Structure formats: C-alpha cells, structure tokens
Amino acid sequence: MKEAAGFIEVDLFPAEVDSLEHPDVLRFRELLEDVAMEYHCRLTSFEIERGTVSFSFDSNELMAEILKILQNDRQNHS
C-alpha cells in the first residue's frame, strides 16, 4: 500500500460553499477520482471548508504533477 504524499489545498469555491454535498464540490471530487483512476491510485482524502478544498492521493507522481500545474497557473496570473 502506498502512503499519502501530503495534502493540496486550493481556494476553489466561494466561502459559502462549505458542504461535501454541494453540486460543484461533488463534480470536482468526481473529477479527482477519475484522475486517480488514470494514475492507478486512490483519492485518499477530500474535504472542503469555506470554499477551500483539501485533497490527497496515494501517488507521489500525481501529487507532484498537480503541484506543477498549480505553480504554473500562479506564475501565469502574477
């Protein structure tokens, strides 16, 4: 079994979005689960608090890819 590779937190939704049952949150979770299947791993953690999504996969490779994407996005918006 693989170990979790830390957590990623993203301010993705408005602060009013604070439920795992919110339709946008459900769609995002489904997207993450689809990506996990493509990388042959699991989404090991998924939470939302006031619009901030925290999640983790049991794949260092996937976590690194997501971090690269987020860093590139941040640099492009600076």
Tens-digit pLDDT profile for residues 12-49: 999 999 999 999 999 999 999 999 999 999 999 999 99
Domain presence at residue 54 = yes
Report yes or no on 3 lying in a domain: no
Q: Which two tokens stand for residue 37?
A: 């299947």
Q: Is residue 57 situated within a structural domain?
A: yes
User: Full-prediction pTM beyond 0.85?
Assistant: no
Task: Give the position of tokens 């995002």.
Answer: 28
Domain that holds residue 52: 8-76
Look at residue 1 in the predicted model and tell me its pLDDT. 42
Residue 29 inside a domain? The answer is yes
pLDDT tier at 6 (50, 70, 90 boundaries)? confident
- Cα–Cα–Cα angle for 22, 7, 10, nearest 5°? 50
Q: Domain for residue 41, yes or no?
A: yes
Domains in the chain: how many in total?
Answer: 1
Asked if residue 1 is part of any domain, the answer here is no
